[in-house]
Structure 1
Amino acid sequence: MKRRTLLGLSAALPILAARATRAAAALGGSGHVGPTNLITDVAGLTVGEAHDTRVRTGVTILLPDRRVACAVDVRGGGPGTRETDALTAGNLVRSIDAIVLSGGSVYGLASADGVAAWLGARGRGFSMTKQPGVPPSPIVPTAILFDLANGGDKNWGLNPPYRDLALKAMDHPTRDIALGTAGAGYGAQAGALKGGLGSASFVTADGMTVGALVAVNSLGSVVVPGTRHFWAGAFEMGREFGGLGAGTAHVDPEDWGRAKFNPAARANTTIACIATDADLDADDLKRVAMMAQDGMARAIRPVHSPFDGDVIFALSTGRRPLPPGSRPLHVARLGALAADTLSRAVARGVYEATLPPGMGIPTWKNLPD
């Protein structure tokens, strides 16, 4: 049996090699940034955003136009999530109606209540069988970041603002996303710099689109110590985050540069979503999410610490079928592209950040040359 398996593999190798050659040609071809360089370049997606300037917090909601396959990968030591178990292999429902990224730490999980109510009122959600008078159950996985200590007014008593913010965000979902100090990134801090909401996209030479959306609130720094160069500089497309490109500095392994001082458990987190129009199932998307974590590692140093709650969702709108027999190779391609696109989105989120009224930390744009 083992010999037959090896012989079968040997026969398949030339075919796989030919496919790899074609994919490599595509990778080296005319791939380009999407029309808006946002996750909504993936067909079938819109985004809702809302923030509260007084509280210094916000929410961002990724809304597909129908239920889609989804997976999640959690690497941070202090995550805050909702309904991620539903995406685990072997479970009944591995598709979603929306994804929520929210500020507010544990209070921000209530943002999913508003999204679920909005979807349910429109008849959207999971149902085994439709019955009169029985509403569907919207599946709304959610990840939160900690922005409670950023100086905003958190004296909300019994009424945290997150459900209302989510409903406000769902009023006008759009393909046009505000970056930087917006949505879930409104009150975020990336190391010692103002963090924010970032997004980026890439379209392959053979027409597949990959997009990333991220709220950057990391313990680690996004810039090389002693410089303005983003760790993600090698992946920059054009001048999307300043045009400085890759840095050349040699870095001491113990020099974390503009990381946060005196970190606390659950006080940091980078939360993200990867999307593609390639027709991937939930198992494929799990691998894409895992590979995308490397993009976070290329853009933030250190990352996935005990003090971070780093989470990545990956979803597919399924608009672009894959050629028969090519799935594993395309999963590898899309995972690699997801990592690079997420690195760019992290840098864009910090590059575009501005200071909310009264907040007194540096932004990338006011760093010395």
Structure 2
Amino acid sequence: MIKTGTHNDLTDIAGVTVGQSVDETARTGVTVMVAERAMTAAVDVRGGGPGTRETDALAPGGLVGQVDAIVLAGGSVYGLAAADGVCAGLGAAGRGFALMDTPGVPRSPIVPAAILYDLANGGDKAWGETPPYRALGLQALKAASDRPVELGRAGAGFGAMAGTDPGGTGSASAMTSDGYTVGALVCVNSFGSVRIPGSDAFWANPFEIGDEFGGVRPPHGHRFGAEDWGAAKLNPGARENTTIAIVATDAALTRDQARRLAVMAQDGLARAIRPVHTPFDGDVVFAVSTGDKVLADPEMVTLARLGALCADTLTRAVARAVFASAGR
């Protein structure tokens, strides 16, 4: 029986903190994962319309391969500015990459980011030349802690929609019998639906631990058509739908191994959302390794186990996001 961590969220990974901020008037927000020290990271992009920053820095053969923080934001392209605020805050604290310490030369924080589209959700977006995202990013950074992550209408998921259901921010964790912990954090703004057509049950229901997202099961013998997408959005627009996520583990991974973790974790979205990775979505999954625990031999088998568990945990996090947003 898989067990969750203490909080059942990403902060169950030691050394990982999460901060969130929202602008209720604009119906948008920012979620930031902050690494207490630089951590190995990688990314996998599957959607047809992604919006990202600094993901090339995580590519194989790059100079750095580690991150100080990862930003998930609403606001479409405007939301990428949230990473500016996070960079400013981390730089002021002396965080970041430098080939050598040079007096008077600031370090360069490595802060990849991904955004979702919430511009047409009814919030006041008449911000002219001063979108709120830089300030929201800095606010989320300052709020970062290892306290339980607020789920539902919070952070980057504040103004999101999961198909025609309210979307939101979700998180979950799991622990292996031999001492590894994995966690997932997701902001769900998908074109596809998270619920089985004709039912209140989540696609994720086979992976639920306890009643963490309501315990609803589909009726016995329930059937649906192969192209019945249930509560998917009726009029999807290009770049208007996205699920953005972070998975993390305390296992020590190389950049290539972290990339495999991100690739495998994408299957968690496929289990929780139907359809997924469409031309209308910008689905992105980051993977982070704190490096605290040596990868047990045989390494590739252990990596496969962790990748599968990250996928399952991300599946649960998606359902937890929508479950926590219901009625809000």
Check 1:246–1:126 CA distance in 2 against 1; reply closer, same or farther (3 A cut).
farther
Structure 1 contact 225–251 (Cα < 8 Å) conserved: yes
Residue 245 of structure 2 corresponds to residue 236 of structure 1 = no
Q: Is residue 232–residue 246 contact of structure 1 (8 Å, CA) maintained in 2?
A: no
Q: What is residue 280 of structure 2 aligned with on the other side?
A: 307
2:123 counterpart residue number: 152
Cross-structure match for 1:343: 315
Residue in 1 that maps onto 2:30: 59
Alignment partner for residue 331 of structure 1, among 294, 303, 308?
303
Which structure would you say has the larger Rg? 1
Q: How does 1:11-50 map to 2 (within 5 A)?
A: 31-50=2-21
In 2: Cα distance, 1:169 partner to 1:145 partner: 17
Query: SS at the partner of 1:67?
Result: strand
Residue type of the alignment partner of 1:249: H
Unaligned runs of 5+ in 1: 1-29, 357-369
Residue aligning to 2:293: 320
User: Aligned residue for 2:104?
Assistant: 133
For these two proteins, the number of residue pairs brought into alignment is 326
Q: Which of 175, 186, 194 is the matching residue for 1:222?
A: 194
Deviation at 1:185, TM superposition (A): 0.5
Aligned-residue offset at 1:246 = 5.8
**Percent same amino acid at aligned positions?**
60
**CA shift in 2, pair 1:252/1:355, >3 Å:** same
TM-score by length of 1: 0.87
2:164 counterpart (185, 188, 192): 192
Q: 1:337 and 1:303, CA in 2 relative to 1: closer, same or farther beyond 3 A?
A: same
**For 2:101, what is the secondary structure of its paired residue?**
coil
Stretches of structure 2 that go unaligned for 5 or more consecutive residues are none
Counterpart of 2:201 in 1: which secondary structure?
coil
2:140 & 2:260 partners in 1: Cα distance? 30
Greater fraction helix = 1
Residue number in structure 2 paired with 1:115: 86
Hey, what does 1:182 align to over in structure 2? 154
Of 195, 202, 211 in structure 1, the residue corresponding to residue 174 of structure 2 is 202
Aligned residue among 61, 71, 80 for 2:51: 80
In the alignment, which residue of structure 2 is the partner of 1:265? 238
Q: Counterpart of 1:306 in 2: which secondary structure?
A: coil
Superposition TM-score, scaled by structure 2 size = 0.98
How far has the Cα of 1:245 moved from its partner? Answer: 3.9
For the Cα contact (< 8 Å) 1:241–1:351, is it kept in 2? yes
Report which of the two has the higher share of strand.
2
Mapped partners of 1:76, 1:228: distance in 2: 26
CA displacement 1:180-219 (0-9 Å, x = unmatched): 0000000000000000000000010111000000000000
Query: What is the deviation of 1:178?
Result: 0.6
Listed one character per residue, the Cα deviations across residues 28-72 of structure 1 (whole Å, up to 9, x for unaligned) are xx5411111011101111101000110000000000100000000
User: Counterpart in 1 of 2:70?
Assistant: 99
Contact 1:37 1:200 in 2 (8 A): yes
Work out the CA distance in 2 between the residues paired with 1:286 and 1:143.
Answer: 16
> In structure 1, the residue corresponding to 2:278 is in which secondary structure?
coil
CA distance in 1, matches of 2:327, 2:111: 30
- Cα pair 2:196 2:218 within 8 Å, conserved: no
| Alignment-mate amino acid for residue 328 of structure 1 | M
**Distance between the aligned counterparts of 1:170 and 1:332, measured in 2?**
32
1:259-292 Cα offsets, whole Å, 9 max, x none, are 0011000000000000000111110011110011
Q: Residue type matched to 2:177 in 1? A: A
Change (3 A) 1:149 1:127: same
Q: Give, in whole Å, the separation in 2 of the partners of 1:223 and 1:168.
A: 33
- Secondary structure (helix, strand or coil) at the match of 1:271 reads strand
> What's the C-alpha RMSD, in Å, of the aligned pairs?
1.1
Q: SS at 2:312's partner residue?
A: helix
- Shift of the 45–330 alpha-carbon distance from structure 1 to 2, 3 Å rule, reads same
